[in-house]
């Protein structure tokens, strides 16, 4: 059974730092991997979607990489800002039993200090 | 702009009540999902639907049922609410095929007293 782990669970950094959030998964037979952002009490917003054939995706200050063989993905945030404070979730997409499903990690809660 | 809406942001119900949570998407997506989110447990899939009138159990379907009579609307039903169903409920939709992103609604914070 696929398990998705995100470390650390919480992170606090000063504004302007570059930072890396980690996601690991136990079964490399994935369809895709997606990073989401969640603000307190709100729904999830998609940040980056990496298909299994891709190695990375970039959007603005965000870069996500995928290494299927080692079961890892990283989300790199450049020049962090207080507005980046949120919980970041990674979700692994699988095709099992004729169904496409996402398995979610429990998230990394990020606080960027002004 | 894509949109998934949920009928309530906050809901308070009593034990034993029948509860309906509604989700509507305007993107003509075939697939729709209901998750619950609890601290330390992350998002867990309750039910999903491939298309109208089709439904599949997720990982934690016990105590819940769903209805999808129209493509744009997916309802989650708690037949007899219990305190352990107090949670944040999130609806999502996606195009068929699995390669596309899931779009989430704002969530419903349900408290069962």
Per-residue model confidence as pLDDT tens digits over B45-97: 999 998 898 899 999 999 999 999 999 999 999 999 999 999 999 999 998 87
Q: What would the mean pLDDT of A45-66 be, rounded to a whole number? A: 95
Interface contact flag, A32 B99, Cβ < 8 Å = yes
A49 pLDDT tier (thresholds 50, 70, 90): very high
Instruction: Write the residue in B43, B103, B105 that is nearest to A104 by C-beta.
Output: B43
Interface contact flag, A43 B106, Cβ < 8 Å = yes
A46 pLDDT tier (thresholds 50, 70, 90): very high
Q: What would the mean pLDDT of B17-42 be, rounded to a whole number? A: 94
pLDDT of residue B96: 83
Residues of A in contact with B58 (CB under 8 A): 101
In sequence order, what are the residues at sequence separation of 6 or more whose Cβ sits closer than 8 angstroms to the Cβ of residue B108? B6, B7, B8, B9, B10, B11, B21, B88, B89, B90
Count of Cβ atoms closer than 10 Å to residue B49 Cβ: 20
Residue B10 phi/psi, 5-degree rounding, is: -135, 140
* Minimum CA–CA partner of A101 in chain B: B98
Round to whole Å and give the CA distance between A103 and A26.
11
In angstroms, what separates the C-alpha of B42 from chain A's closest C-alpha?
A: 4
Residues of A in contact with B106 (CB under 8 A): 42-43
Nearest to B90 by CA among B32, B49, B26, B51: B32
For an interface test with B, give the residue of A10, A100, A103, A107 to mutate (most B CBs within 10 A): A100
Mean per-residue pLDDT over chain B, rounded = 93
Q: What percent of chain B clears pLDDT 70, i.e. is strictly above it?
A: 97
Residues of B in contact with A45 (CB under 8 A): 104
The partner residues of B76 in beta bridges, in order of sequence, read B21, B66
């Amino acid at each position: 059974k696929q398990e998705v782990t995100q470390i650390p669970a919480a992170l606090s950094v000063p504004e302007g730092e570059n930072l890396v959030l980690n996601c690991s998964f136990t079964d490399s037979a994935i369809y895709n991997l997606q990073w989401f952002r969640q603000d307190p009490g709100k729904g999830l917003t998609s940040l980056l979607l990496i298909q299994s054939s891709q190695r990375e995706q970039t959007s603005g200050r965000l870069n996500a990489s995928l290494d299927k063989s080692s079961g890892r993905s990283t989300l790199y945030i450049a020049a962090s800002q207080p507005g980046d404070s949120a919980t970041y979730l990674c979700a692994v997409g699988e095709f099992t039993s004729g169904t496409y499903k996402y398995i979610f990690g429990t998230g990394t809660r990020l606080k960027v200090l002004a | 702009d894509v949109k998934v809406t949920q009928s309530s942001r906050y809901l308070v119900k009593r034990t034993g009540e029948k509860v309906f949570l509604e989700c509507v998407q305007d993107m003509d997506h075939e697939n729709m999902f209901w998750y619950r989110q609890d601290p330390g447990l992350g998002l867990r899939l309750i039910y999903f639907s491939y298309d109208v009138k089709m439904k599949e159990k997720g990982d934690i379907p016990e105590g819940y049922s769903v209805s999808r009579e129209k493509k744009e609307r997916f309802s989650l039903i708690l037949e007899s609410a219990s305190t352990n169903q107090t949670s944040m409920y999130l609806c999502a939709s996606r195009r068929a095929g699995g390669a596309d992103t899931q779009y989430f609604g704002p969530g419903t914070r349900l408290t069962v007293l």
